[in-house]
Chain A
């Protein structure tokens, strides 16, 4: 087993004449937490959408867990072990926590096509175990999502990664819409994931959060990767310089 969980080579996405992502070479080690930063329209979300199969890349290779992959959709990516927490939470408001965690991959007690009997008990137990693992605090898992705060909803979305043995978690601005306390709660979960050796890609605008949580920062600008910085070797001002274009990483000279 190699220690690289994800690698992209020359990953490129064009929308007609718009070069949203150009030749991205990216490596993520097992258990590593990497932040992707950049201005709006820098290509961060485009990059994530290619990896998770939401969109089909124009060219380039994605090697996940040692094998080249071509995901036809987010579902295939999820089955391969990539869990994504999307900006727009993909939760069903009228269902409770276990229902949402297991939506589309329910535990069954008796198989009978669409009329298979659900194993509620098994799903509840697995949910509790998953929540315990991530230290996610949800007062009552049998509450519907509708009655939960934004932070709790985000936690439910994140808890999916812990409930299913995923190999890579991608979070796209998980705290953008949250208050101070809720943000702290989500950040704690991310720390727990780190302790458990989960690999993570975190897309964030929040400099403090990034320096608190990750090992390495990759900066995107105008569709290209312009810097690859270990946390210890950099600071906030430095990163801002890369984001705004005042500086470009030595190995990426001429790229942007």
Chain B
């Protein structure tokens, strides 16, 4: 008899059937990949991957590498938080990379300084009346851009009943068009000091972590989260239970769009410039982070924690390649493989679950 019986009606609860949280598997994969790079590092490079082998830092870890790993995934990670919610609800969002591009251009044009070294801003988009604005203006503009794009996605998916793949593909193409049209392809530079502070140093990581914690709580403890899982799990059951499925979907896509907007603000602030090509294939990286983190493309399964670990796996692999001094070309080839591999893994998990049921 298992001692931990949570059974009702006299049945004991079989411990072997207890659900092992999927996040633990993903975390195990992260440890495994780190271990592989440690091994290869010791073998090929003669130095440690994550640990401080040269006594450069106060702690036992190679802090510089840890920072880079997290920093380089933080901005796409913010998008992945929204994409995770969309996929859990049974949809997909291919537009986030382009929404980042369009939002970057539009938000940045409200964040410019009037004078650079005493001369008028050479990259000015608007007249002097629209420069040196308070920081709240570009932030609000950026958030509203993301919200607007996400809401359009949601309305097409929920009310026009267009498959999410097609609706967000359309937004992907259109938003990229907006990004190019805004300044006829010219980059926008020279933001105000306060705007540049948003993405300075480790700020992107802090923003990513705060948003991850926030949305973890939202997905786990609120009506919004519960209904998102329910819709992705069985849309008919959700509808029969009286959930306003269409309205909820619009909300999910809108939040995903807003997070793409946040990502664009952080990205432009960090780079001190906005270009129409910003965010290309971010959507695929974000989807890959989610899927690697155990979010099922069939909907209903996955978590924010899983996606955060998935993002870390992504960062570790990219850093690991740099650490082993492999060319960036190989990184891209392997990244493509990881994305497809993660989907194959998801398919396999689904089939296994279907067989068990």
Interface residues of A (CB under 8 A from B): 74-75, 78, 90-95, 99, 103-106, 108, 112, 114-118, 120, 128, 131-132, 135-144, 146-147
Contacts and interface: CB of A to CB of B under 8 A. Distances in A.
6 closest Cβ contacts across the A-B interface? A104-B241, A94-B300, A137-B9, A104-B242, A92-B233, A94-B233
A138 B223 contact: no
B129 interface: no
Interface in B125-166: none
Nearest to B10: A137
Interface string B339-357: 0000000000000010011
Nearest to B234: A92
Given A103-B237, A103-B241, A131-B9, 4 more contacts: A118-B222, A132-B9, A138-B9, A140-B17
Contacts of A95: 226, 229-230, 233
B67 interface: no
Interface residues of B, number: 38
B350 to A, nearest CB: 11
Contacts of A104: 238, 241-243
B6 interface: yes
B218 interface: yes
Nearest to A108: B223
Contacts of B10: 137
Interface string B220-250: 0111101101101110111011110000100
A78 B218 CA distance: 28
Contact of B240 (A74, A99, A132, A138): A74
B61 interface: no
B221 A118 contact: yes
Contact of A93 (B6, B227, B233): B233
Given A95-B229, A103-B237, A116 B222 contact: yes
A132 B11 CA distance: 12
A85 to B, nearest CB: 12
B19 A144 contact: yes
B13 interface: yes
21 contacts: A90-B234, A90-B237, A90-B240, A92-B233, A92-B234, A92-B300, A93-B234, A94-B233, A94-B300, A95-B230, A95-B233, A106-B223, A115-B222, A116-B222, A118-B226, A131-B8, A137-B8, A139-B7, A144-B19, A146-B356, A147-B17
Contacts of A108: 223
A131 B12 CA distance: 15
A92 B243 CA distance: 13
Nearest to B8: A131
B65 interface: no
Nearest to A104: B241
B5 to A, nearest CB: 9
A238 B7 CA distance: 43
A132 B7 CA distance: 11
B332 interface: no
Contacts of B240: 74-75, 90
A139 B233 contact: no
Contacts of A115: 218, 222-224
Contact of A114 (B12, B222, B241, B357): B222
B14 interface: yes
A14 B218 CA distance: 47
B251 interface: yes
Contacts of B223: 106, 108, 114-116, 118
A120 B301 CA distance: 19
